[in-house]
């Protein structure tokens, strides 16, 4: 497939305001690709060069792209910068300059999708002395032989700002329609994606082997599994009802969720975050402990890394633990904030997946390979059918400084990437007023007024993720909790992802001064959840859900969470029900 043909579809996607139209357009594009290029096409359409866990990113600096555009078109860099400031989009600037370029095309070659993909991979992998000039030259050569429309998307891709607004679920539905004629196969594709966390592999397998091949995608080492998620319930009695009268009750640790992959033969260990980011270089002591303390030839285990003072038997607050997630000063921080990994599940052991086994068997397997239990320990737990015992255990862990408990159905399998009642969380906040935080997606921002006018930033329009529809629904405007530094920082980051119109996957009745692509997540606290005609979260009969007195509590953008990791519409409805029960019982 020629990249110019893909660019035509990208332009259609960019101008689409309906998610169903996006699915139709994307499915048409995918159906025209060959089995040897569909993986690369999916990555390009996502705006990435690989699945997130491989960590290959391009993110070329704007100044490099400006030089490449100038060199490819025969204009000065200053002219390019002036036009960019006016357009606000370097992709549009590249398109305009290629359309009026002073220089002849350096080649009559027409790029294929694979040509563009491989060129971008080479740019991303170029490093060392002289790499900046080499990257500029490679991008210039691409632009010099591109049509204006191709230049728009090549430039945006190089900057990491493709802006097509496609979510994982939307791509899965488009794949289903492209290869089966309907969206009905999405659940099968989603299950495979939850296991391999790689949309490119899902698309390639579907193209080459059909649905049968998709159904046989297996767990592999160093291909992280999308983590299982938990539902909420407010009482021990309701928990036991959902778990068939008996369950395991584990301590819920407020730390960094980690998925550890270990292969003893090659002495290789990788650590992945909850959103599948590679964390391995940040936690050298976890790598060492995995090789030293996990007695298995190969394994994938899951746990929560938390700052823990063994001498005082005290857990450190999350604010201290999160400091360990950094790229610099790692050795010092590992001494200042020592971690303990409390492991609670195992998904793979010695060449075989264990996800299909019931929780009780998985726990026995986990116990069998954690013999030393020094730094890598088992999560604390009890097994009970007594609601009073659950409440007693809950109160004990709260006194220890933890955030609550996790109840697990003894017979449940590990359900990757899904929120099921096989895991149920009960936190301190569910037993009283709404003090639990919400992780919200920024959907737009408002201009400042009064004292904030100088920052040109007055607050955020924020929403939740509707996982069933793969859309984002508004739930609040946030105008408090910002420092001056945060206002400046947020505006700078949001300006990079401004959208000309409301993104297709955003469902909103409130209109901000500027829409942005749903990308960044912030943590918010509110006094309570209310019903409102202004917001679209869970809207029914004209009323949605909204937050009363919301305020920002995170230091800024949550880099450890993607938009699809945000609080969901379903969770908000659950939290509203829990809040209402608490009020009625008080």
Residue 452 has pLDDT above 60, yes or no: no
Query: Which residues have CB under 8 Å from 145's CB, separation 6+?
Result: 105, 106, 107, 108, 109, 111
CATH architecture of the domain with residue range 229-431: 2-Layer Sandwich (3.30)
Q: What is the pLDDT of residue 432?
A: 46
End-to-end, the C-alpha distance of the chain in Å comes to 64
Rounded CA separation 277/561 (Å): 10
Residue 32 has pLDDT above 60, yes or no: yes
Rounded CA separation 495/85 (Å): 12
Q: What is the pLDDT of residue 335?
A: 84
Rounded CA separation 52/55 (Å): 5
Identify the H or E element spanning 470: none
Query: Which residues have CB under 8 Å from 229's CB, separation 6+?
Result: 417, 418, 419, 420, 423
Structure-block tokens of residue 32: 């025209």
| Catalytic residue, candidates 252, 425, 427, 431 | 252
Q: What is the pTM of this model?
A: 0.88
Residue 249 has pLDDT above 60, yes or no: yes
Residue 440 has pLDDT above 50, yes or no: yes
Is 252 known to be catalytic?
yes
Contact 318, 286 (CB under 8 A): no
Rounded CA separation 78/70 (Å): 9
Structural domain boundaries in the chain: 3-159, 229-431, 438-585
Rounded CA separation 146/112 (Å): 11
CATH superfamily label, 438-585: Nucleic acid-binding proteins (2.40.50.140)
Q: What is the pLDDT of residue 561?
A: 84
- For the chain, the helix, strand and coil percentages under 3-state DSSP, each to the nearest 5: 45, 25, 35
Buried b (16+ CB within 10 A) or exposed e, 115-151: bbbebbbebbeeeeeeeeeebbebbbbbbbbbbbbbb
Q: What is the pLDDT of residue 343?
A: 96
Interval 231-248: pLDDT, tens: 988 899 999 999 999 999
Top-level CATH class of 3-159?
mainly alpha
In this predicted model, which residue has the larger pLDDT, 364 or 254? 364
Annotate 267-319 with DSSP letters as a single string: TEEEEE-TT--B-GGG-HHHHHHHHHHB--SEEEEEEEEEEEETTTTEEPPHH
Buried b (16+ CB within 10 A) or exposed e, 438-469: bbbbbbbbbebeeebeebbbbbbbbbbbbbee
Q: Tell me what percent of the residues of the chain surpass a pLDDT of 70.
A: 95
Q: Where are the alpha helices (DSSP H) in 32-76?
A: 38-46, 62-73
Interval 550-560: pLDDT, tens: 988 866 788 77
Indicate the pairing of strand 339-349 with strand 376-378.
Answer: parallel
Q: What is the pLDDT of residue 319?
A: 76
């Amino acid at each position: 497939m020629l990249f110019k043909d893909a660019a035509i579809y990208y332009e259609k996607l960019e101008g689409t305001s309906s998610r169903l139209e996006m699915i139709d357009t994307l499915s048409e594009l995918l159906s025209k690709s060959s089995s040897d290029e569909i993986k690369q096409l999916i990555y390009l359409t996502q705006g990435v060069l690989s699945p997130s866990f491989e960590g290959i990113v391009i993110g070329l600096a704007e100044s490099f792209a400006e030089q490449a555009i100038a060199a490819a078109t025969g204009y000065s860099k200053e002219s390019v910068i002036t036009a960019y400031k006016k357009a606000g989009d370097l992709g549009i600037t590249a398109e305009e300059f290629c359309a009026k370029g002073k220089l002849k095309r350096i080649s009559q070659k027409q790029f294929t999708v694979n040509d563009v993909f491989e060129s971008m991979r080479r740019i991303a992998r170029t490093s060392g002395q002289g790499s900046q000039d080499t990257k500029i030259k490679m991008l210039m050569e691409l632009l010099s032989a591109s049509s204006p429309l191709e230049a728009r998307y090549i430039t945006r891709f190089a900057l990491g700002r493709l802006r097509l607004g496609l979510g994982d679920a939307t791509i899965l539905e488009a794949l289903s329609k492209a290869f089966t004629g309907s969206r009905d196969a999405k659940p099968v594709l989603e299950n495979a994606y939850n296991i391999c966390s790689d949309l490119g592999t899902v698309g390639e397998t579907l193209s080459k082997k059909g649905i049968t091949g998709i159904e046989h995608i297996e767990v592999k080492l160093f291909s992280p599994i999308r983590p299982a998620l938990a539902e909420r319930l407010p009482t021990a009695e309701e928990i036991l009802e959902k778990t068939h009268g008996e369950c395991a009750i584990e301590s819920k640790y407020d730390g960094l969720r980690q998925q550890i992959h270990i292969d003893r033969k090659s002495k290789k260990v990788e650590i992945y975050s909850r959103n599948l980011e590679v964390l391995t270089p940040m936690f050298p002591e976890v790598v060492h402990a995995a090789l030293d303390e996990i007695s298995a030839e190969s394994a994938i285990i899951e746990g929560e890394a938390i700052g823990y003072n063994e001498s005082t038997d005290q857990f450190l607050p999350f604010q201290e633990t999160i400091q360990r997630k950094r790229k610099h000063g790692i050795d010092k921080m590992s001494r200042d904030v020592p971690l303990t990994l409390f492991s609670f599940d195992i998904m793979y052991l010695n060449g075989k997946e264990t996800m299909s086994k019931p929780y009780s068997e998985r726990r026995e397997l986990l116990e069998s390979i954690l013999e030393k239990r020094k730094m890598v320990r088992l999560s604390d737990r009890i097994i009970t059918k007594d609601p009073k015992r659950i409440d007693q255990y809950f109160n004990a862990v709260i006194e220890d400084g933890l955030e609550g408990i996790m109840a697990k159905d003894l017979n449940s399998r590990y359900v990757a990437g899904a929120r099921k009642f096989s895991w149920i969380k009960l936190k301190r906040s569910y037993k009283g007023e709404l003090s639990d935080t919400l992780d919200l997606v920024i959907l737009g921002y408002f201009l400042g007024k009064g004292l904030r006018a100088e920052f040109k930033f007055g607050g955020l329009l924020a929403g939740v993720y509707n996982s069933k529809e793969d859309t984002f629904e508004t739930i609040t405007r946030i105008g408090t909790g910002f420092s001056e530094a945060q206002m400046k920082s947020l505006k700078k980051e949001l300006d990079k992802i401004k959208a000309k119109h409301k993104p297709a996957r955003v469902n909103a009745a409130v209109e901000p001064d500027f829409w942005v692509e749903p990308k960044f997540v912030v943590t918010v606290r509110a006094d309570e959840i209310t019903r409102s005609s202004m917001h679209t979260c869970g809207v029914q009969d004209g009323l949605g859900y909204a937050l009363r007195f919301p305020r920002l509590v995170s230091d800024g953008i949550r880099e450890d969470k993607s938009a699809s990791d945000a609080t969901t519409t379903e969770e908000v409805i659950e939290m509203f029900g829990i809040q209402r029960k608490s009020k009625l019982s008080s």
